[in-house]
């Protein structure tokens, strides 16, 4: 029913460019080749509406089968033995007692392979052995029965310690220093010169700790291999197609002989690509036992060895002139990614500075390697620069929103800042930070973000219309909880003039058409265009068959709407129409269409908080997030994702952070009892606003942009409320009380 | 939430003997605490402890227990160890398994494993399977089906109160039990009722809306 609009000669499109290390968009004019189009965003029958998710009923009733829930016959339970030391040489693993426990079916140890070089564990939590047994209880007993002899080596778990002169080395390889230079851009001497001419200068240091993804379904797989030539791997993954190759290598099979299944998965947030060490161990155990192995990490495993969002340490010197122009910015940025490199967007993040210089480094520690986490590097950069912008604005005595607008060229930010300010009631904010009677102080703050996203030519989709009228759409992609299943169905239903319930989707299977991994908010922009293309092709194939029955109407002129097919002055019901199809039905094979995907978004967040200056406790009151995303495929799901972004930002701003014991080299809070996730009692009023003034008829992902600007907004709201500028996350009561104390002493 | 199950009601006279962790702990723990108790109490405590210890010694601490669990109205025979939790028994020892309740933290912090024990919400990772014998266990599967959801389940779908859905069985069970207790809650009361359940995707606001909609009976049937 979405008819193509007549081809125009020229059209304007936006293309990505990198400005100051940040993706941005530039509009250019190109030939309009009459390719597939979504049509205007406000003219859809299903898309851009509020669609309850199609897997909702199986999820609310416990019927949805997650990886964790798979129970192939004869399945064993796998468990991982972790190193208790942050840095140690494994001398000996004695698993003989474990093997002797009745019910233990397989044991693998890091020392099994005599050809392998000695194992030096580099973080507390690194696997040194694994077992598979008939019950989880027996598997746990087996872990306790394994004796490992370690030679403990000196460790480093704090960035400050790693950078010290004469510090022990994190890696044995001399080519891998504790501090690795990453990027350098700009002219430091020009910045120094410009700072001299600035009316106000702020010199400040901002820190964010390591954050945990905390997906409720832990990492893991159920490897169903019983010997022979084929295997099936049920995986909790963001990349169905990243699994077969990894598993095949461990199992010694051909990649095509391994099938990956991801029916439902319980969250990933960037941490679940590839089979992981836990999957490799599951394969080894399954191969040894010739039986299926269920190896899902425990929650403590998950904290210690399943990746994290890198921390950051950013040092600024920045200056502005009286009129609010940012004239100079000098930034030194450290990424704290443990054994990994970490990630961080370059400064000045989004804002324009007449003179800017930055240099970036990774500081390594004996902690598990960082992984991608929802907008890798952006919330860290955004928190720091938004705090800095605020500090400059207050020093100048300028309104924080006006100061930002002054340094943002892009009109979309201006429009979104105005809308957010209206929605939160910016005029009500504390004119002087910390002002007001009584111990409960309210304040407001704001922040901005950006994300590239975009789609890739990676999805192959089949839409099949059967002679009995049933319609199916099949592609191997995975639904992380973002609503992939729902929009996949909706696109096909809309194209064929049907309802959502008339279409069945099959996803999460590497035997189906290929699809990209869900990273960088690229799933929707890669998948939706391919689904649309397949649906259009299926529609035209059906229309071609019907043409003789509809007075010879041209296939492209036959319309599909409200469960009917019309042309040549006649209308057939869907069932009647499909009866004319061949026995095998017709299938449209869809591929990615550039014209249907977009990339590059903005996004602003405003937050209001209440600070109790007697206890230092922060209570979030309200958050507003304004987001442009082109064509929202499903408004309900988009808003849910925006809520999720705000809530996760809130966690990062106020509560979350890995705590390490420097002496022991161990994490002190590897569990939900001590790692504080946002909970029901802390929820503010959340207002997710889709910016419909973005009329791009293109699909753009929304997962990552919605987590970026809120962290700075909350931190700035805390300052506006009580006058304390907390430069190290999370903003816990102790930091606020210490800030108030030092203010009082200073005054 | 996750109320401590009632000690008295867990003492059943039928065999097999009740191997409750609480009674076992009582046997080994009270003697130590006895010293701090005033003299006239100490004697009683000591005597009680000796008796409890003797009784605890008779209880099995290893080896299989043959239990009959009442799960969603069906009698399910299961053989588990004394240490096996109810959650573990449901998910890993019943055949076919009952996997609606999720194992997420296994230490009573997240609520994803919430089930109803005689109608009261409990964290099934903190209840021994043996302690659930003789009680009615209701999991999310017992509250409704995809085809016939209860009012709370229908409201969760309608309000989009789920994303990845891994925490959802726990929330649905918690909210269903709460609305039985308080059919007309305020938003503040709903938040309080949900404080024992974690969600990482960030569905809280819509969980609250779903709970209020279910209470008001404004949810459409499908």
Mean pLDDT calculated for residue range A636-657: 98
CA triple B88-B94-B96, angle to 5 deg = 125
Residues sharing a CB contact under 8 Å with residue A518, sequence separation 6 or more, in sequence order: A238, A239, A268, A477, A478, A480, A482
A497 and A553 belong to one structural domain: yes
The predicted pLDDT at position B50 comes to 84
pLDDT at A192 over 80: yes
Q: How many Å lie between the alpha carbon of B94 and the closest alpha carbon of chain A?
A: 11
Question: Would you state the pLDDT for residue B5?
Answer: 38
Contacts B105 to A, Cβ<8 Å: 299, 671-673
The DSSP result for B107-139, as a single string, is SSSS-TTEEEETTEEEETTSSBHHHHTTSEEE-
> Per the domain annotation, does A240 fall within a domain?
yes
Cβ-Cβ contacts under 8 Å, A269 against chain B: 200
Q: Using the beta-carbon criterion (under 8 Å), do B157 and A57 form an inter-chain contact?
A: yes
**Phi, psi angle pair for A140, to nearest 5°:** -70, -40
Contact present, B93 and B68 (Cβ < 8 Å): no
The 3-state secondary structure of A472-491, one letter per residue: EEECCCCCCCCCHHHHHHHH
Q: pLDDT value at position B9? A: 36
DSSP A201-266: EEEEEEEE--B----SSPSEEEEE--SSS-EEEEE--S-GGGHHHHHHHHHT--GGGEEEE-SB--
Average of per-residue pLDDT across A372-393: 98
DSSP annotation of A48 reads T
DSSP state of B89: I
Distance CA A562, CA A496 (A): 9
Domain boundary pick from A595, A616, A631: A595
Helix (H) or strand (E) holding A504: strand A503-506
Residue B113, both tokens? 């494993």
Mutation choice for A interface testing from B107, B147, B204, B214 by most A CBs within 10 A: B204
- Quickly tell me which residue has 């009582």 as its tokens: B26
Give the one of A640, A672, A686 whose C-beta lies nearest to B110's C-beta: A672
- Which residues does chain A have within 8 Å of residue B87's beta carbon, measured at their own beta carbons? none
Q: In this structure, which topology does domain B151-216 adopt according to CATH?
A: DNA polymerase; domain 1 (1.10.150)
Give the strand order in the sheet containing A104-109: A104-109, A127-133, A76-82, A293-296, A220-224, A231-235, A258-261
CA dist., res. A283 & res. A517, Å (int): 21
**Whether residue A6 has pLDDT greater than 80:** no
The tokens of B55 are what? 């009784």
Give pLDDT tens digits for A443-473: 999 999 999 999 999 999 999 999 999 999 9
Q: How many structural domains compose chain A?
A: 3
Would you say residue A470 lies in a domain?
Answer: yes
Cα–Cα dist A348/A318, whole Å: 10
The pLDDT tens digits for A583-630 are 999 999 999 999 999 999 999 999 999 999 999 999 999 999 999 999
pLDDT at A718 over 90: yes
Alpha-carbon gap: B176 to the closest alpha carbon of chain A (Å): 12
| Residues contacting residue A610 through CB under 8 Å, at least 6 positions apart | A440, A441, A442, A618, A619, A621, A721
Two tokens, residue B51: 């008796």
Is B149–A57 a contact, with Cβ atoms under 8 angstroms apart?
Answer: yes
| Nearest CA-CA partner of A348 in A373, A308, A320 | A320
A662 and A722 within one domain? yes
Residues A474 and A447 reside in one and the same domain: no
- Calculate helix-pair angle for A635-654, A710-722, nearest 10 degrees: 50
Q: Which of A595, A625, A646 is the last residue of a domain?
A: A595
Q: How far apart are the C-alpha atoms of B196 and B181, rounded to whole Å?
A: 16
Q: What is the CATH number of the domain that holds A554?
A: 3.30.365.10
Do A569 and A464 sit in the same domain of this protein?
yes
Query: Which pLDDT does position B38 carry in this prediction?
Result: 58
Residue A680 has pLDDT above 90, yes or no: yes
pLDDT digits (tens, 9 = 90+) for A567-587: 999 999 999 999 999 999 999
**Nearest CA-CA distance, residue A61 and chain B, Å:** 5
What digits encode the pLDDT tens for the residues A146-162?
Answer: 999 999 999 999 999 99
For an interface test with A, the pick among B108, B137, B164, B219 (most A C-beta atoms closer than 10 Å) comes out as: B164
Which among B106, B164, B197 has the least Cβ separation from residue A267? B164
Are B88 and A137 an interchain contact pair (Cβ–Cβ within 8 Å)? yes
Touching check for A77 and chain B: CB below 8 Å?
yes
**ipTM for the predicted complex:** 0.94
Q: Does A641 touch chain B (CB under 8 A)?
A: yes
Picking from A135, A299, A686, the nearest residue to B92 by CB comes out as A135
* Contact: A60, B164; criterion CB under 8 Å: no
The separation between CA B90 and the C-alpha centre of its own chain, rounded to angstroms, equals: 12
Instruction: Look at B50 and B150; give whichever has higher pLDDT.
Output: B150
Q: What is the pLDDT of residue A539?
A: 97
pLDDT of B15? 39
Q: Would you call B102 an interface residue with chain A, using a CB distance cutoff of 8 Å? A: yes
- Give yes or no for residue A201 having a pLDDT over 90: yes
DSSP character at residue B106: S
Asked whether A358 and A186 are in contact (CB, 8 A), the reply is: yes
Cis peptide before B16 (omega within 30 of 0): yes
Whether B201 sits inside 8 A of A267 (CB atoms) is yes
Q: List pLDDT tens digits, range B38-80.
A: 566 667 777 888 887 777 777 666 778 999 999 999 999 999 9
Domain extents in chain B: 20-58, 65-140, 151-216
B208, A683: Cβ pair inside 8 Å?
yes
B172 pLDDT higher than 80:
yes
Q: Examine the domain organization and report whether A127 and A258 are in the same domain.
A: yes
Q: How far, rounded to the nearest angstrom, does the alpha carbon of residue B174 sit from its chain's CA centroid?
A: 10
Query: CA of B114: which chain A residue's CA is closest?
Result: A62
Picking from A275, A296, A317, the residue at the C-terminal end of a domain is: A296
pLDDT tens, position by position, A262-320: 999 999 999 999 999 999 999 999 999 999 999 999 999 999 999 999 999 999 999 99
Percent of chain A exceeding pLDDT 90 equals: 93
Residue A6 resides in a domain: no
Q: What's residue A118's pLDDT?
A: 80
CA angle A4, A6, A11 (to 5 degrees): 100
Pairs of residues, one from chain A and one from chain B, whose beta carbons lie less than 8 Å apart:
182
CA–CA dist B165, B206 (Å, integer): 13
Which residues on chain B are in Cβ contact (under 8 Å) with A646? Answer: 202
Helix, strand, coil % over all residues of chain A, rounded to 5:
30, 25, 45
CB-facing half-sphere around the CA of A240: CA atoms within 13 A: 27
Q: Which of B97, B104, B197 sits opposite A299 (nearest CB)?
A: B104
pLDDT tens readout for residues A401-422: 999 999 999 999 999 999 999 9
CA Rg, chain A, in Å?
Answer: 28
Query: Strand pairing partners for A620?
Result: A609
pLDDT above 90 (res A747): no
The span from the CA of A396 to the CA of B136, in Å, is 67
Residue A102 touches partner B, C-beta closer than 8 Å: no
Q: Does B210 touch chain A (CB under 8 A)?
A: no
Averaged pLDDT for residues A235-251 = 98
Q: Report the pLDDT value the prediction gives residue A110, as an integer from 0 to 100.
A: 87
Whether B128 shows a pLDDT value over 60: the answer reads yes
Q: What's phi and psi for B40, nearest 5 deg?
A: -65, -25
For the domain that residue A128 is a member of, what is the CATH number?
A: 3.90.1170.50
Give the pLDDT of residue B46. 79
Say if residue A571 is in the same domain as residue A606.
no
List the domain range (segments joined by +) for residue A391: 371-453+599-746
| pLDDT score of A4 more than 80 | no
What CA–CA distance (Å, rounded) separates A492 from A473?
8
The hierarchical CATH code for the domain B65-140 is 3.10.20.30
Residue among B92, B141, B156 minimizing CB distance to A56: B156
Three-state DSSP state, A157: coil
- Taking the mean position of all CA atoms in its chain, how far away is CA A111? 36
What pLDDT, on the 0 to 100 scale, is given for residue A14?
56
Q: Which two tokens stand for residue A458?
A: 């990676």
- For B6-46, the pLDDT digits (tens) are 333 333 333 344 444 444 444 444 444 444 445 666 677 77
Shared domain for A449 and A460, answered yes or no, is no
CA of residue A171 relative to chain centroid, distance: 29
Is residue A474 located within the same domain as residue A493? yes
pLDDT band at A7 (very low <50, low <70, confident <90, very high): very low
User: How many whole angstroms separate alpha carbon A717 and alpha carbon A719?
Assistant: 5
Question: Are the beta carbons of B90 and B117 closer than 8 angstroms?
Answer: no
**How much of chain A exceeds pLDDT 70, in percent?**
95
Using the Cβ of A23 and the Cβ atoms of chain B, whether some distance falls under 8 Å is answered with no
pLDDT averaged over chain A? Answer: 95
The answer to whether A63 contacts chain B (CB < 8 Å) is yes
């Amino acid at each position: 029913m979405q008819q193509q609009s007549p081809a125009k000669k020229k059209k304007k499109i936006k293309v990505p460019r990198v400005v100051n290390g940040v993706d941005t968009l530039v509009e250019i004019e190109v030939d309009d080749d009459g390719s597939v189009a979504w049509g205007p965003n406000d003219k859809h029958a299903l898309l851009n509406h509020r669609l309850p998710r199609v897997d909702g009923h199986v999820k609310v009733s416990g019927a949805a089968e997650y990886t964790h829930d798979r129970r192939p016959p004869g399945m064993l339970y796998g468990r991982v033995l972790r190193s208790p030391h942050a840095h140690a040489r494994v001398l000996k693993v004695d698993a003989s007692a474990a093997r002797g426990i009745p019910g233990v079916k397989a044991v693998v140890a890091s020392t099994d392979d005599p050809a392998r070089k000695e194992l030096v564990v580099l973080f507390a939590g690194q696997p040194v052995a694994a077992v598979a047994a008939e019950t989880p209880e027996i598997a746990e007993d087996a872990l306790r029965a394994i004796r490992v002899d370690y030679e403990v080596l000196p460790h480093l778990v704090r960035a400050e310690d790693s950078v010290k002169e004469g510090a022990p080395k994190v890696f044995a390889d001399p080519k891998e220093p504790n501090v690795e230079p990453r990027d350098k851009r700009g002219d430091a001497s020009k910045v120094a010169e410009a700072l001299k001419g600035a009316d106000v200068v702020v010199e400040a240091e901002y820190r964010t700790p390591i954050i945990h993804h905390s997906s409720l379904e832990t990492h893991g797989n159920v490897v169903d291999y019983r010997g022979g030539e084929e295997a099936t791997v049920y995986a909790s993954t963001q990349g169905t197609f990243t699994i077969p190759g990894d598993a095949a290598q461990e199992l010694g099979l051909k990649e095509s002989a391994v099938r990956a299944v991801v029916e439902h998965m319980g969250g990933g947030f960037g941490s679940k690509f590839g089979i992981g060490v836990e999957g490799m161990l599951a394969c080894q155990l399954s191969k040894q036992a010739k039986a299926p192995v269920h190896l899902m990490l425990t929650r403590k495993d998950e904290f210690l060895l399943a990746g994290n969002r890198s921390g950051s340490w950013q040092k600024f010197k920045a200056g502005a002139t009286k009129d609010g122009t940012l004239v100079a910015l000098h930034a030194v940025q450290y990424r704290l990614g443990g054994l990994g490199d970490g990630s961080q967007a370059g400064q000045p993040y989004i804002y324009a500075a007449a003179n800017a210089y930055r240099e970036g480094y990774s500081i390594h520690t004996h902690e598990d390697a960082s992984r991608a986490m929802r907008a890798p590097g952006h919330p860290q950069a955004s928190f720091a620069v938004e705090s800095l912008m605020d500090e400059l604005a207050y020093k100048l005595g300028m309104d924080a929103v006006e100061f930002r607008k002054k340094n943002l060229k892009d009109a979309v930010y201006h429009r979104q800042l105005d809308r957010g300010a209206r929605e939160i009631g910016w005029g009500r904010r504390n004119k002087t930070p910390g002002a007001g009677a009584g111990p409960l102080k309210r304040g407001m703050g704001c922040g901005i973000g950006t994300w590239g996203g975009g789609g890739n030519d990676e999805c192959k989709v089949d839409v099949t219309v059967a002679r009995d009228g049933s319609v199916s759409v099949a592609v191997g992609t995975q639904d992380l909880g973002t609503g992939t299943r729902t929009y996949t169905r909706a696109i096909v239903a809309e194209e064929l003039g049907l309802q959502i319930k008339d279409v069945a989707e099959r996803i999460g299977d590497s035997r189906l058409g290929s699809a990209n991994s869900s990273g960088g908010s690229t799933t929707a922009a890669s998948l939706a265009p391919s689904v649309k293309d397949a649906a259009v092709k299926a529609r035209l194939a059906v229309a071609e068959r019907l043409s003789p029955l509809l007075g010879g109407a041209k296939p492209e002129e036959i319309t599909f709407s409200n469960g009917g097919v019309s042309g040549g002055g006649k209308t057939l019901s869907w069932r009647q129409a499909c009866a004319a199809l061949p026995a095998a039905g017709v299938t449209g094979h869809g591929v990615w269409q550039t014209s249907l995907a977009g990339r590059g978004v903005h996004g602003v967040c405003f937050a209001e908080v209440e600070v109790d200056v007697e206890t230092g406790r922060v209570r979030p009151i309200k958050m507003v997030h304004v987001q442009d995303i082109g064509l929202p495929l499903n408004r309900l799901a988009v808003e849910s994702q925006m809520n999720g972004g705000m809530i996760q930002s809130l966690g990062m701003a106020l509560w979350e952070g890995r705590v390490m014991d420097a002496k022991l080299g161990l994490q002190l809070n590897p569990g939900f009892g001590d790692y504080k996730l946002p909970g029901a009692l802390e929820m503010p009023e959340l207002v997710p606003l889709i910016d419909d003034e973005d009329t791009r008829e293109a699909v753009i992902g929304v997962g990552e942009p919605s987590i970026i600007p809120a962290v700075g907004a909350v931190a700035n709201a805390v300052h506006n409320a009580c006058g304390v500028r907390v430069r190290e996350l999370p903003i816990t009561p102790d930091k606020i009380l210490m800030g108030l104390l030092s203010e009082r002493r200073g005054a | 939430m996750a109320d401590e199950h009632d000690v008295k009601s867990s003492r059943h006279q039928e065999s097999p003997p009740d191997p409750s962790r609480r009674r076992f702990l009582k046997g080994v723990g009270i003697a130590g605490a006895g010293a701090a108790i005033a003299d006239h109490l100490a004697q009683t405590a000591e005597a009680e402890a000796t008796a409890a210890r003797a009784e605890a010694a008779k209880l099995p601490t290893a080896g299989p227990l043959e239990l009959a669990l009442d799960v969603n109205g069906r009698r399910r025979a299961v053989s588990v160890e004394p240490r096996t939790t109810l959650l573990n028994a449901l998910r890993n020892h019943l055949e076919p398994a009952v996997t609606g309740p999720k194992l997420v933290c296994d230490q009573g912090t997240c609520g994803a494993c919430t089930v109803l024990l005689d109608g009261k919400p409990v964290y099934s990772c903190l209840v021994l399977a043996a302690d659930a014998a003789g009680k009615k266990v209701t999991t999310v599967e017992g509250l409704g089906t995809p085809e016939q959801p209860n009012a709370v389940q229908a409201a969760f779908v309608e309000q989009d109160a789920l994303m990845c859905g891994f925490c959802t069985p726990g929330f649905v069970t918690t909210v269903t039990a709460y609305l039985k207790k308080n059919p007309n809650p305020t938003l503040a009361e709903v938040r309080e009722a949900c404080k024992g359940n974690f969600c990482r995707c960030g569905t809280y606001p819509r969980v609250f809306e779903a709970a209020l909609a279910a209470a008001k009976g404004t949810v459409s049937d499908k």
